[in-house]
A and B are shown apart, each in its own frame.
Chain A
Amino acid sequence: MKNKKFSSLLKEWYEGNLSFDERMDSDIHKKETAETEEKEIRLVKDVEKAEKELTSKGYKFFSVIFCVILALILILTVNFMPLFADDSTPTANEVYEHYVGEGRDQTGAVNTVAGMILDYRAFDTLGESFVLFTATCAVLLLLEQSKKQKVKEKESFTFSNDPIVCTIVKIITPIIIVFGVYVLFNGHISPGGGFSGGSVLGAGFILFAMAYGEDNAAKIITPKIIRVITICSLSFYCLAKSYSFFTGNEFNGIHSIITPGTPGDIVSGGLILPLNIAVGLVVCCTMYSFYMVFKRGRLD
């Protein structure tokens, strides 16, 4: 053991290859453990002291006063806001009239909200999709555990042994997924769209993973599939919107082949239907991977 370099030893210790006795057999370690114990005792005392300070009367009094003042400020701010659906609000201007009056003919979407967020303000929605993608990356970076690190028995718990959860979820999951797909595909006709349908779909897949066990769910929805779907959806969104941005310019002589179609048809609204599906898939993958990473520490 003495022949090994310190860095490799440290690496082995970190990866958990050394047994507990091997780690503890040197005198330095014993001294260190004694010191750490002292430190821990001091830390506990400090925490107790801080808790006493926190629960003292002065602290409570000032925290209550602070909260009341904050609430008063917020309520006063709400009081200054214009009334709901008032004609004199600053938002009731020509932009709103244009969206409501000509949005249906220009975008081909019966649902004006879908026409707004996926046609007039599509780059806004692109940014929101990338926020979700970044959130997934951040959660994976922070919470992902390697396969070597075994989850403790106390921490691992499963819902698939519960008969009530299992039976009800098995009946209800297909209905939820079909409803999510319906909301997704009818985003330009009825209320809903990418974010709503995607979150319903994601909730359905989470229920599926709960009822059948995460191991079985991970065999069907592998990390590769999640990765491919997310990247393809985001790239498709970028390319499609770049195309319509480029051809929207009337001076370069290129005309867009995408037409609004007949408002009310399922295949209408130009790019709104495919963009809705792309956004929905990204949202669904985000929800599902959140659940898997929170529950197991990894996607597979």
Chain B
Amino acid sequence: MEDIITVFRLLLLISLVVCAIATALSKRVMTALIIFTSYSIVMSVVWLLLRSPDLAITEAAVGAGVNGVLFFITLRKLHLIDKDYADDEEGKIDEGVNVNEE
């Protein structure tokens, strides 16, 4: 049983690192946002395994819930997410803010 938990912990920690790197490297903003949210969920499980369930509750509520919603609203207002979809339809992905907006 101990070995299984150790393997589980290692998997969680590796996935934390992978999520962190993938957030920085992903070109589409929406993808980065979703990976960042999943980072928070993995982190809340890690808090639980470190025996601090109160932090796990807070991390799940703030990191995965409220933070994600606030990021989503901000990116939507900056038209970064809409641009993702538009480029997706054209079949190409471009970075950066749309300068010629209006």
Contacts and interface: CB of A to CB of B under 8 A. Distances in A.
Interface residues of A, number: 24
Nearest to A44: B99
Contacts of A291: 66, 69-70, 73
Contacts of B66: 199, 202-203, 206, 287, 290-291
Nearest to B57: A196
A44 B99 CA distance: 9
Interface string B63-82: 00110011001101101000
Interface in B45-102: 52-55, 57-58, 61-62, 65-66, 69-70, 73-74, 76-77, 79, 99
Interface string A150-186: 0000110100000000000000000000000001000
Contacts of B61: 196, 199-200, 202-203
A113 interface: yes
Contacts of A206: 65-66, 69
A294 interface: yes
Contact of A294 (B55, B57, B74): B74
Give the interface residue-count category, chain B.
10 to 19
A200 B69 CA distance: 14
Given A206-B69, A290-B70, A154 B57 contact: no
Contact of A200 (B57, B73, B79): B57
A295 interface: yes
B1 to A, nearest CB: 19
Interface in A179-209: 183, 191-193, 195-197, 199-200, 202-203, 206
B79 A294 contact: no
Contacts of A113: 54
B54 A294 contact: no
A44 B97 CA distance: 13
A203 B65 contact: yes
Nearest to A288: B66
Nearest to A114: B54
Contacts of B62: 199, 203, 287
A208 to B, nearest CB: 12
Given A206-B66, A287-B66, A192 B54 contact: yes
B54 A196 contact: yes
B75 to A, nearest CB: 11
Nearest to B82: A154
A155 B77 contact: yes
Contact of B57 (A44, A192, A210, A295): A192
A44 B96 CA distance: 14
A179 B74 CA distance: 28
Nearest to A196: B57
A113 B55 CA distance: 11
A294 B57 CA distance: 24
Given A191-B53, A203-B65, A287-B66, 11 more contacts: A191-B54, A192-B53, A192-B57, A196-B57, A196-B61, A199-B58, A199-B65, A202-B66, A206-B69, A210-B69, A291-B73
23 contacts: A113-B54, A157-B76, A183-B57, A192-B53, A193-B54, A195-B54, A195-B58, A196-B54, A196-B55, A196-B57, A199-B57, A199-B62, A202-B61, A203-B62, A206-B66, A206-B69, A210-B69, A287-B66, A290-B66, A291-B69, A291-B70, A291-B73, A294-B73
Interface of B: 52-55, 57-58, 61-62, 65-66, 69-70, 73-74, 76-77, 79, 99
